[in-house]
Chains A and B, each alone.
Chain A
Amino acid sequence: MRRAVRFSVKPYLYLLPMLVFAVGFVYYPFAKTVAQSVSVVNFRGEITGFAGLENFRYLFSRREFSIAMQNTLKLMFINVPVTLTLTCLLAWFSNRRTFLSPVYETLLALPMTVSMPVITLIFKVLLNPSVGFVNYALGLDVGWYTDRHTAMAGILMLTVWMGIGFNYVLILNAFRGIPEDLMGCALLDGAGPLRMFFSIQLPLISPTLLYVVCTNMIQAMMTSGPVMILTQGGPSRSTTTLIYLMYTAGYRSANYSLAACVSLVAFALTFGFAAALFLLEERRVHYQ
Chain B
Amino acid sequence: MKKLLSLLLTLALLMGLTACAQAENTKIVLWHSMSEEAGALMDKYVQQFNDTLGRDQGIQVEAVFQGTYAEAVTKMNGMLMNGQLDALPDVMQLDATGKVSFAAADNAYTVDEALAEHPEADLSGILAPALANWQLAGAQLGLPFATSTTVTYYNKTALEAAGFAAPETLGDIGAMASLAADGVTVYACVPNTPTLANWLGQLGSNLVDNHNGTEGTAAALDCIENGALTEFLTAWKDLYATGALANANASTDEFVAGRQLIMTSSSSSLASLLGRIGGAFELGVSGYPRVNENASAGATVSGSCLVMFDHGDARRAAAWTLTNYLTSAEVQADFARGTGYLPANAAAAESEAWQALIAEHPQYQVGLEQLMRTPDTMRSVTVGPSADFYYAIMNDISDMLDSDLSVEETVEILRDDLNGMLAQYLRANP
Q: Which residues of A line the B interface, CB within 8 A?
A: 40-46, 48, 58, 61-64, 125, 128, 130-131, 143, 146, 148, 232-237, 247-249, 251-255, 257-258
Contacts and interface: CB of A to CB of B under 8 A. Distances in A.
Given A234-B394, A236-B398, A41 B81 contact: no
B395 A234 contact: yes
Contacts of A58: 424
Contacts of B183: 130
A249 B387 contact: yes
B178 interface: no
Interface string B225-259: 00000000000000000000001110101100101
Contacts of A41: 428
B183, B249, B424: residue with the most chain A Cβ atoms closer than 10 Å: B424
B398 A44 contact: no
A41 B424 CA distance: 11
B347 interface: no
Contacts of A258: 424
A44 B80 contact: yes
Contact of B428 (A42, A248, A252): A42
Interface in B202-225: none
Interface in B60-79: 70, 74, 77
A148 B399 CA distance: 10
Given A233-B391, A254-B385, A43 B429 contact: yes
B36 interface: no
Interface residues of B, number: 43
B422 to A, nearest CB: 11
Given A40-B427, A235-B398, A131 B386 contact: no
Nearest to A135: B183
B385 A235 contact: no
B94 to A, nearest CB: 15
B74 A254 contact: no
Given A148-B402, A234-B391, A234-B398, A255 B424 contact: yes
B417 interface: yes
Interface string B406-430: 0000000000010011001101110
A253 B386 contact: yes
Nearest to A45: B81
Interface string B66-109: 00001000100100110000000000000001001100100000
Contacts, number: 103
B386 A43 contact: no
Interface in B354-392: 384-389, 391-392
A159 to B, nearest CB: 21
Contacts of B80: 44
A125, A237, A248, A253: residue with the most chain B Cβ atoms closer than 10 Å: A253
Contacts of B421: 253
Contacts of B398: 234-236
Contacts of B388: 248-249, 252-253, 255
B387 A253 contact: yes
A248 B391 contact: yes
7 contacts: A45-B81, A58-B424, A247-B387, A253-B425, A254-B386, A255-B385, A255-B425
Contacts of B184: 130
Given A45-B81, A236-B399, A254-B386, 9 more contacts: A43-B101, A58-B424, A130-B251, A130-B257, A148-B402, A234-B398, A248-B391, A252-B388, A253-B389
A131 B384 contact: no
Contact of B248 (A43, A63, A125, A146): A146
B427 A44 contact: no
B81 A46 contact: yes
Contacts of B424: 58, 255, 258
A46 B392 CA distance: 26
